[in-house]
Amino acid sequence: MNNKRVNPAELKNEEYCYLTTTGRKSGNPHEIEIWFGIDGSSLYLLSGGGDESDWVRNLRVNPNVTVRIAKHTFAGTARIVGDVKEELTARHMLAGKYQGWKEGQSLSAWGRTALVVGIELKPDLRVLKELGDL
C-alpha cells in the first residue's frame, strides 16, 4: 500500500479528467470526460456551452463534485470563476495545454468565450480511505 498523498499538480499533464456532478433534477451522479488545467490545488475547466451545459447547471445547484485524474479521485467544491485575473490565467493555461497557445498570440474563440469553472480540490479520496481518514 502506498500512503503517499498525491498532489493534484503532479497530474497536470494527464490528457483528461472525469468530472462527476449530481444531477440537479434526478440527484443521480453524472460523469463527463473533459479537458482541464491545474494550478496548485485548483482545477480549471472551460465550458464551451457556457451556462447551458448540463454539468454547469448541475454544479450551480450542488457545487460538491468529484474529479478523477488517472487513478486518483478528489472531492472538490466547484464555482464559476469571477475574478478577471484568475479567469485569464485559466484561459491561458487551458489554451496553452490543448491548443498550443503562447504569450503574444490571440486566444481561440473557445479560449476567449468559454465559461471558466474552478474547483478547489481536496486530498485524494482513495488515499484517505487507505489511511483510514474517511
pLDDT in tens, 80-127: 999 999 999 999 999 999 998 888 888 898 999 999 999 999 876 554
Question: What are residue 2's phi and psi, to 5 degrees?
Answer: -100, 115
Strand partners, 72: 69
The domain defined by 8-131 folds into Pnp Oxidase; Chain A (2.30.110)
Q: Is the dihedral of CA 127, 130, 132, 134 positive or negative?
A: positive
Task: Please answer whether residues 42 and 119 qualify as being in contact, where contact means their C-beta atoms are separated by less than 8 angstroms.
Answer: yes
**Tens-digit pLDDT profile for residues 44-75:** 999 999 999 999 999 999 999 999 999 999 99
**Reported pTM:** 0.87
For 52, the grid coordinates are: 447551458
* Gyration radius from the chain CA atoms: 15
pLDDT at position 6 is: 82
Reported as a single tens digit per residue, the pLDDT across 3-19 is: 357 889 899 999 999 99
- Residue 61: per-residue pLDDT: 97
Q: Is the per-residue pLDDT at 130 higher than 90?
A: no
HSE, side-chain direction, 13 A CA sphere, residue 114: 24
What distance in Å separates the CA atoms of residue 40 and residue 52, rounded to the nearest whole number? 28
Whether the CB-CB separation of 91 and 46 falls below 8 Å is answered with yes
